[in-house]
Amino acid sequence: RKEVEQDPGPFNVPEGATVAFNCTYSNSASQSFFWYRQDCRKEPKLLMSVYSSGNEDGRFTAQLNRASQYISLLIRDSKLSDSATYLCVVNWGYQKVTFGIGTKLQVIP
Amino acid sequence: NAGVTQTPKFQVLKTGQSMTLQCAQDMNHNSMYWYRQDPGMGLRLIYYSASEGTTDKGEVPNGYNVSRLNKREFSLRLESAAPSQTSVYFCASSEPGMSYEQYFGPGTRLTVT
């Protein structure tokens, strides 16, 4: 089983839709979790950290379920500019970080 | 504030040739990393440097060497390039203990023929 698993998509959604991505991780000792965004042919950039209590940043909500070992990202009111690949990132020790393969989102007019 | 810079942006090599990818950061971060990104594989860590003067192997170190020249600079060397090393290479830096956010450079697209 891969350490971090994501559905690569693509997820094609209309503007204004709500879309959710999940990411599962295998190491129960994982300590911190992140969502990164990567635009086509660009470098990854941090979108948001994921806290145990869940956290929200505008239209984006991230949640962590330690019991089932997954994190999720919810995007409300999708914009064309949200089209990108979303990388799930798990930190499981000092200098131990694993990136998922990413989920591609395409928002359609 | 440039963040993380990488050179070159693109490179084509013949099998067996050598080259060095350069990376520099101006955020005074202690840790620096080299990743490669291939379709369907995600980002894989090649080498990292937790602090100036130290380097450690990551997940896929074979065929690569690194040098942490100073706190700002971390270079990646391919001694004898192979087609399997065709990839996009990203350098990143972070300050461990402070959210573990990594800041990435723009990447180097390398093709080995």
Query: What is the rounded distance in angstroms from the CA atom of residue B11 to the CA atom of residue B87?
Result: 10
3-state secondary structure of A82: helix
Distance from CA of B73 to the nearest CA of A (A): 18
A85: chain B residues, CB-CB within 8 Å:
none
Query: For B69-90, how does the pLDDT look when each residue is reduced to its tens digit (9 = 90+)?
Result: 899 999 999 999 999 999 999 9
Which of A95, A97, A99 is closest, CB to CB, to B50? A95
pLDDT at A102 over 60: yes
Q: B85 touching A, CB under 8 A?
A: no
pLDDT tens digits, residue range B10-41?
Answer: 999 999 999 999 999 999 999 999 999 998 88
Residues of B in contact with A95 (CB under 8 A): 31, 48, 50, 56, 96
SS3 for A71?
strand
Q: What is the dihedral of CA A87, A92, A93, A97, to 10 degrees?
A: -20
Of B104, B89, B70, the residue nearest B19 (C-alpha): B89
Average of per-residue pLDDT across A95-102: 90
Which chain B residues touch A100 with a CB distance below 8 Å? Answer: 42
A38 class by beta-carbon count within 10 Å (0-12 exposed, 13-18 middle, 19+ buried): buried
Q: Which of A85, A95, A98 to mutate to test the interface with B (most CBs of B within 10 A)?
A: A95
What mean pLDDT comes out for the span B87-106?
87
Q: Is the pLDDT of residue B97 over 70?
A: no
Contact (CB, 8 A) for A97 and B44? no
Return the pLDDT at B1.
66
Check whether B2 has a pLDDT greater than 90. Answer: no
Taking only the tens place, the pLDDT of each residue in A14-50 is 999 999 999 999 988 888 999 999 999 999 999 999 9
Rounded CA separation A33/B100 (Å): 9
Q: What 3-state class would DSSP assign to B84?
A: helix
Number of H helices, E strands in chain B: 0, 11
Q: Which residue of B has its CA nearest to A8?
A: B40
What DSSP element (H or E) covers A98? strand A96-99
Instruction: Report which listed range, A84-88, A90-94, B48-52, is most confident.
Output: A84-88
Give the residue from B19, B31, B5 showing the smallest Cα distance to B76: B19
Please name the member of B41, B45, B101 whose beta carbon is closest to the beta carbon of A101. Answer: B41
